[in-house]
Amino acid sequence: MHLARFPRLRFAHLPTPIEPMENLSRLLGGPKLWIKRDDCTGLATGGNKTRKLEYLLGDAIEKKADVLITQGATQSNHARQTAAIAARMGMACEILLENRTGSKDRDYLVSGNVIMDRLFGARLRDYPAGTDMNAAMQTVAEELKAEGKRPYVIPGGGSNAIGALGYVGCALEILTQASDLGLKLDHVVHATGSTGTQAGLVAGFAGARTGIPVYGVSVRAPRPAQEANVYKLVEATAEHLGIKGAIGKEAVVANSDYVGDGYGVPTEGMYEAMRLFARTEGLVLDPVYTGKGAAGLIDLCRKGHFKSSDNVLFIHTGGQVGLFGYTGPFDDMLSRRNDAAG
């Protein structure tokens, strides 16, 4: 797994820190919880998409692209990071946003990630929930080609075998840091959506034969679909890395018990996780991904899924800016909770 074989540009502040969460570990009565701060990748307030975009842009530049096209939900963190990179590269950026939650809330539609997309100069196009966004991107690509442009289409979340290399790199980075810290890692837990993060981590940890299990907490798809999608990308990524067939299906675990009513729809567990991380560790999670991922982590700790002596690493994949697209529901939640706490 020699990543230097693949073209890559540098946008992220790496390595991101690994920090202990001693207060939260104590509150939950074990295991030993650690956090990998991929919310601190630097560019445009950070997040996990920047690692993937380093490899995607390496490929785009090799193909002499002059405009990036991508898609996501209205409050897409991936769109924000793509828009920032396009600005930095002097490239045009076309972003297709699907209002996946059907929300009409003003903050959801204009604040958080959306205001940053616009600040970076991306062109935004809005689509209703349920649109075939891949087909819509192809239509935009054809339009641009007809104008003589050289578009590069980045799939939602930057999740293909090229983007996933960013998280193969993250797995290798974690192994180096764990060795330096003398930290024996027993589990890695994170929120999984478009699958590139989990596929890259699994390809990295399993490809390096570490036996460190990766536990995905789904924020959208039911378990069988999410596990199948992640595994499909694990296989493609392994092939891209030159280790085709090296990783079995059993390496992919994705629990969908914490999705609630759907993608981007708040849950009680997510609120509780955000409040606990904030009030024990001073850490900000996001309502769509890390809040639900951490709700899963907390529930697994309470259910005794881990041994109390285990070291469990939660990957903070970013997304805090999205909180400002959810100010209404959050205000309600904080009022209720604070009243209940007296």
Which residues are known catalytic residues?
Answer: 76
Query: Does the protein bind ligand PLP through residue 266 (CB under 6 A)?
Result: no
Amino acid at 200: G
Q: Is 218 in the site for ligand PLP (CB under 6 A)?
A: no
The smaller minimum CB distance to ligand PLP, of residues 67 and 254, is found at: 254
Instruction: Choose the binding region for ligand PLP from 17-25, 118-126, 181-189, 316-324 (rule: CB under 6 A).
Output: 316-324
Within 10 Å of residue 251's Cβ, how many Cβ atoms?
A: 20
- 117 Cβ neighbours under 8 A, 6+ residues apart: 79, 80, 83, 95, 124
Q: Residue 196, interface with ligand PLP (CB under 6 A)?
A: yes
Contact (Cβ atoms closer than 8 angstroms) between residue 83 and residue 120: yes
Distance CA 55, CA 62 (A): 11
Residue 290 CB, nearest approach to ligand PLP (Å):
5
* # binding residues, ligand PLP (CB under 6 A): 20
Binding status of residue 48 toward ligand PLP by CB under 6 A: yes
| Residues 307, 305: Cα–Cα separation, whole Å | 7
Identify which range of 20-28, 117-125, 135-143, 283-291 contacts ligand PLP by CB under 6 A.
283-291
Tell me the residue nearest to ligand PLP as measured from the CB: 319
Residue 195 Cβ vs ligand PLP, minimum distance, rounded to whole Å: 5
Asked if 197 touches ligand PLP (CB under 6 A), the answer is yes
Q: What are the distances in angstroms from CA 10 to CA 43, 51, 156?
A: 10, 9, 21
Which of these ranges, 18-26, 188-196, 294-302, 306-314, lies near ligand PLP under the rule CB under 6 A? 188-196
Which residues of the chain form contacts with ligand PLP (CB under 6 A)? Answer: 47-48, 77-78, 157, 159, 191-198, 286, 289-290, 317-319
